[in-house]
Amino acid sequence: MVQGTPTPYPPMPGGKPGEMLVPMRLQRYLARAGVASRRGSEGLMTAGRVRVNGQVVTELGTKVNPLADVVSVDGTPVSLETGNAYVLLNKPAGYVTTMSDPQGRATVAELVPRDRYPGLFPVGRLDHDTTGVLLFTTDGDLAHALLHPSHHVEKTYLALVRGTLSSGEQALVRAGMTLDDGPTRPAGLEQLEHEEYRDKSHHLTQGTWERITITEGRKRQVKRMFMSIHHPVVRLHRESFGPLVLGGLPQGEWRPLTDDEVTSLRDASSRQTPATTSGMR
C-alpha cells in the first residue's frame, strides 16, 4: 500500500500509449480491472471482501501500487493486466460492422487497434451507411449487459428523413408503433432543422433532421420506424450510446474510453429503466 507522494510507474505491458500506472485508489483499481463499477467496488471493500497483500481493506481512501501490491477479491487475485479493453470508434459510412467479412467488404475491424487489443469486438451493430458512436470491447459480460433488452440502454440518432412528420406521426413515434417484429417501446423525438438533399434521381428533395432516442437495439430499427410512416431515412448518425458521446473524435478514428466512461457504462448496463423512459420528449 502506498504512503506519501504518488510516483508514476512505467506503462504496463500492452498498455495504452502514454499511459502511466500511478498509485491509485483501491476502488479505481478494482473498476479498472473490470471487477465492478467504482461504486460496486466500494461495496465489495466495505463488505470486507477485498484484501491487499493478504490484509482486509475496508478504508475507501486506501491507495495501492499496481506493480507491487497483491489485490484479491474473495481470495481471487485481481490484476490490471487481465483488465479489458474499451474503445470508441466514430464509424464512417462504407464499413460493415463485423470483424471479418467473407465477401471481402471493408469492415470496422480495419479501423480499430485489434492487434493491440486481441479479442476486441463491436457491441451491437450499425448499418453499412450509418455513422457515429460504435463501442468495441473485449469485455463479454459488459457487452451482454449493455445489449440485454431489459436494460433499455438509450441510443440517440440524428436521422435526415424525407419530408416532415405531422404532429400525429411524431406522436406515433413517441408512443410506440407496430413493426413487423412487434411493437416498439416509447421513443424520444425532437424535430430539428429542415434540409434539402438530392434523392437517387438527383432531384432536390425537402427533408427534416430528427433526433430520435430508442432503448432497444432491433435490426435497422430507426430506418424501419420512419419507413413505416413513409418518411424514409436518407442519412443516419449515432450521437450517443448510453453515456458515450464522440466528444470531437474525428470520423474514422478511435480512442480508449476513460475510466469514468467505463464506470458509467457499467452503471448504465446494470440499471433497469422502466419501459416508458422519463424525460423523453
Closest CB 238 distance from ligand URA, rounded Å:
7
- As a whole number of angstroms, the distance between CA 9 and CA 264 comes to 26
Comparing CB distances to ligand URA, the nearer of 125 and 148 is 125
Interacting residues with ligand URA (CB under 6 A): 126-127, 130, 220-223, 236
Alpha helices, H only, 76-153 = 140-147
Q: Which of 127, 129, 259, 267 is catalytic?
A: 127
Distances (CA, A) of 109 to 38, 120, 127, 219: 30, 9, 14, 20
127 included as an active-site residue = yes
Residue 239, C-alpha cell as written in the block: 450521437
Residues 6+ apart with CB under 8 A from 162: 199, 205, 206, 207, 231, 232, 234
Closest CB 215 distance from ligand URA, rounded Å:
12
Q: What's 98's DSSP letter? A: S
Comparing CB distances to ligand URA, the nearer of 1 and 93 is 93
- Its sign, for the CA torsion 103, 104, 109, 113, is positive
Closest CB 185 distance from ligand URA, rounded Å:
14
Closest CB 115 distance from ligand URA, rounded Å:
27
Residue 79, C-alpha cell as written in the block: 490484476
State CA 23 to chain mean position distance: 28
Comparing CB distances to ligand URA, the nearer of 165 and 222 is 222
Comparing CB distances to ligand URA, the nearer of 152 and 223 is 223
Active site amino acids:
127
